[in-house]
């Protein structure tokens, strides 16, 4: 497979863009080699600048649950653009999208839109601190809440991929109130509450972690967090930027039957355009300015193009049978890979929730960051490149979830499984 033009494009980019990319994980540091430069995409297919086609399992890192360039989304964005791209004044489409969010997400009565997931978690934390008058926040090692200072402690996603869980330039006082516990370790959270309970504003958690690979909660973990927060009058923040509208219409909170106090959303909510949101009961959300005293603002917040793309995406997701189809696709992908890994004697841990999938090359179950880090990242890098050469675009890191969409039909999934079989045969032959 010739990728000469991507190589040239990367050289050009590196001259004017740090590292050649505008978001760290895109640089392929976790797997080596040159990033694929995209020319266009449609459905589940990504086409690079050398005209190579790939079945895409990154899907813009989650937003594209209805597929690339879905006609309804394209039409909505085109239509909105003809009426102006931004006004900085309220529009009716913001209420229409907020009404859909309220209809779909169990804990949401009101929604405040912003422009990214990281903004949403920042505003959610400010809201929790403003409401409680406390400053401490508990996060979990390996969870990622955006590229924002208070959460860049033991963070997942690209921060983890480059082996730098923390960042230079984050002053100690920005994270002084951030306490870190191992995911799935309720006793550790209880200990933090017993030590600092009256100072803790919130616990923030990815209910299903998608940013250290896919790691699921043990039975009782999320319910335990709910109970601890209630006991100590702290707020429970579910960061559903990834899981929202992905694992069920109402996200992980619907699937698990747990009511968080505050929910952060993004990704699918913007249908591929920049969006974030904070959602929750009116009694909490009304603390935001102008009615309350927790300040929030954004020049492009509730942007009409992004609202239109989100509205079109959520409307597609409300069609009957959609989530059953996504669940079936996730299951077909995971079972197919399991069979191939098994046939080649490759130790692996795989799981899925709906169309969110994950596999680790690891001997032991992965339940937290420590066990995730035991995965064989060298084997992942070889598998990644062998798959890329066979027309499958997986996440360029062991520590990311994979995403299917309504456009991933059986034929695409089966081609992927066949490619995995060939890839592993090539890898084991080369050893």
Which one of the listed residues 29, 267, 368, 421 is annotated catalytic? Answer: 267
Q: Based on CB atoms, which residue is closest to ligand PLP, 239 or 254?
A: 239
Backbone angles phi, psi at 294, to 5 degrees: -95, 110
Using CA atoms, how far residue 122 sits from 53, 198, 239, 390, in Å, is: 37, 21, 11, 40
Task: Report d(CA 272, CA 282) in Å as an integer.
Answer: 27
- CA 273 to chain CA centroid, Å, is 14
Contact 27, 20 (CB under 8 A): yes
Judged by CB under 6 A, the stretch of 80-88, 98-106, 110-118, 159-167 that binds ligand PLP is 110-118
Contact 269, 245 (CB under 8 A): yes
3-state secondary structure of 265: strand
Q: Is 380 a catalytic residue?
A: no
Q: Based on CB atoms, which residue is closest to ligand PLP, 124 or 340?
A: 124
- The distance of closest approach from Cβ of residue 117 to ligand PLP in the complex, given in angstroms and rounded to an integer, is 2
Residue 400 touches ligand PLP, criterion: CB under 6 A: no
Q: Find the binder of ligand PLP among 94, 206, 254, 316 (CB under 6 A).
A: 206
- The distance of closest approach from Cβ of residue 266 to ligand PLP in the complex, given in angstroms and rounded to an integer, is 5
- The distance of closest approach from Cβ of residue 89 to ligand PLP in the complex, given in angstroms and rounded to an integer, is 24
Distance separating the N- and C-terminal Cα atoms of the chain: 22
Judged by CB under 6 A, the stretch of 112-120, 251-259, 362-370, 389-397 that binds ligand PLP is 112-120
Tell me, by CB under 6 A, how many residues bind ligand PLP: 15
- The distance of closest approach from Cβ of residue 358 to ligand PLP in the complex, given in angstroms and rounded to an integer, is 13
Judged by CB under 6 A, the stretch of 52-60, 76-84, 116-124, 251-259 that binds ligand PLP is 116-124
Q: Find the binder of ligand PLP among 104, 160, 242, 395 (CB under 6 A).
A: 242
- CA 191 to chain CA centroid, Å, is 29
Which one of the listed residues 48, 56, 239, 261 is annotated catalytic? Answer: 239
Enter the tokens of residue 84.
């102006």
Q: Based on CB atoms, which residue is closest to ligand PLP, 115 or 416?
A: 115
| Contacts of 422 by beta carbon, 8 Å cutoff, 6+ apart | 386, 390
Residue nearest to ligand PLP according to CB distances in the complex: 117
Please spell the DSSP secondary structure of 63-132, one letter per residue: T-TT-BT-HHHHHHHHHHHHT-S--SS--HHHHHHHHHHHHHSTT-SEEEEESSHHHHHHHHHHHHHHHH
Q: Based on CB atoms, which residue is closest to ligand PLP, 229 or 242?
A: 242
Backbone angles phi, psi at 254, to 5 degrees: -70, -45
Q: Find the binder of ligand PLP among 73, 180, 241, 394 (CB under 6 A).
A: 241
Which one of the listed residues 54, 57, 144, 393 is annotated catalytic? Answer: 144
Q: Based on CB atoms, which residue is closest to ligand PLP, 238 or 384?
A: 238
Q: Based on CB atoms, which residue is closest to ligand PLP, 29 or 145?
A: 145
* Beta-bridge mates of residue 112: 278
Q: Based on CB atoms, which residue is closest to ligand PLP, 73 or 209?
A: 209
Residue 118 touches ligand PLP, criterion: CB under 6 A: yes
Residue 211 touches ligand PLP, criterion: CB under 6 A: yes
Enter the tokens of residue 396.
């360029």
Q: Is 87 a catalytic residue?
A: no
Q: Based on CB atoms, which residue is closest to ligand PLP, 206 or 256?
A: 206
Would you tell me how many other CB atoms lie within 10 Å of the CB of residue 224?
Answer: 18
Residue 358 touches ligand PLP, criterion: CB under 6 A: no
Q: Find the binder of ligand PLP among 266, 302, 330, 396 (CB under 6 A).
A: 266
Q: Which of residues 122-161 bind ligand PLP (CB under 6 A)?
A: 144-146
- CA 415 to chain CA centroid, Å, is 25
Q: Is 267 a catalytic residue?
A: yes
Q: Find the binder of ligand PLP among 45, 52, 107, 121 (CB under 6 A).
A: 121
Q: Find the binder of ligand PLP among 35, 43, 117, 260 (CB under 6 A).
A: 117
* Beta-bridge mates of residue 178: 137
Q: Of 243, 240, 307, which is closest to residue 278 (Cα–Cα)? A: 240
Task: Report d(CA 230, CA 71) in Å as an integer.
Answer: 45
Judged by CB under 6 A, the stretch of 33-41, 219-227, 238-246, 319-327 that binds ligand PLP is 238-246
Task: Report d(CA 296, CA 311) in Å as an integer.
Answer: 23
Angle between the N-to-C axes of helices 410-430 and 322-343, in degrees from 0 to 180, rounded to the nearest 10: 20
Q: Based on CB atoms, which residue is closest to ligand PLP, 203 or 241?
A: 241
Residues taking part in catalysis: 144, 239, 267
Residues lying near ligand PLP in the complex (CB under 6 A) are found at: 116-118, 121, 144-146, 206, 210-211, 239, 241-242, 266, 276
């Amino acid at each position: 497979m010739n990728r000469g033009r991507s190589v040239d494009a990367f050289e050009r980019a590196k001259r004017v863009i740090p590292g050649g990319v505008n978001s760290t994980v895109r640089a392929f540091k976790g797997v080596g080699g040159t990033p694929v430069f995209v020319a266009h995409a449609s459905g589940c297919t990504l086409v690079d600048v050398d005209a190579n086609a790939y079945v895409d399992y990154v899907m813009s890192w989650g937003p594209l649950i209805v597929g690339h360039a879905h006609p309804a989304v394209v039409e909505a964005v085109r239509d909105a653009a003809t009426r102006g791209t931004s006004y900085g004044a309220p529009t009716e489409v913001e209420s229409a999208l907020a009404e859909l969010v309220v209809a779909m997400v169990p804990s949401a009565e009101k929604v405040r839109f912003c422009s990214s997931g990281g903004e949403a978690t920042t505003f959610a934390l400010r809201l929790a601190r403003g409401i409680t008058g406390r400053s401490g926040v508990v996060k979990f090692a390996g969870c990622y809440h955006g590229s924002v200072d208070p959460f860049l402690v033991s963070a997942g996603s690209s921060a983890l991929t480059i082996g730098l869980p923390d960042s230079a330039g984050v002053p100690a006082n920005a994270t002084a109130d951030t306490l870190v516990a191992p995911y799935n370790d309720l006793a550790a959270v209880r200990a933090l509450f017993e030590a600092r309970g009256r100072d803790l504003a919130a616990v923030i958690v990815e209910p299903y972690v998608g940013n250290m690979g896919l790691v699921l909660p043990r039975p009782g973990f999320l319910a335990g967090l709910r109970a601890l927060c209630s006991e100590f009058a702290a707020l429970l923040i579910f960061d559903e930027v990834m899981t929202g509208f992905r694992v069920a219409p109402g996200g992980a909170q619907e699937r698990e039957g747990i009511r968080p106090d505050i929910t952060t959303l993004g990704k699918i909510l913007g249908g591929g355009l920049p969006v974030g949101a904070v959602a929750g009961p009116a009694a909490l959300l009304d603390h935001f300015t102008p009615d309350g005293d927790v300040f929030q603002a954004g020049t492009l917040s509730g942007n009409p193009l992004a609202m239109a793309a989100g509205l079109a995406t959520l409307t597609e997701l409300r069609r009957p049978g959609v989530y059953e189809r996504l669940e079936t696709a996730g299951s077909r992908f995971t079972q197919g890979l399991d069979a191939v890994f098994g046939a080649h004697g490759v130790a692996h841990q795989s799981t899925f929730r709906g169309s969110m999938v994950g596999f680790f090359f690891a001997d032991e179950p992965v339940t937290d960051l420590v066990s995730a880090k035991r995965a064989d990242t060298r084997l992942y890098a070889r598998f990644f490149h062998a798959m890329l050469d066979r027309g499958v675009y997986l996440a360029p890191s062991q520590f990311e979830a994979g995403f299917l969409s309504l456009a991933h039909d059986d034929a695409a999934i089966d081609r992927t499984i066949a490619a995995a079989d060939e890839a592993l045969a090539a890898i084991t032959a080369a050893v």
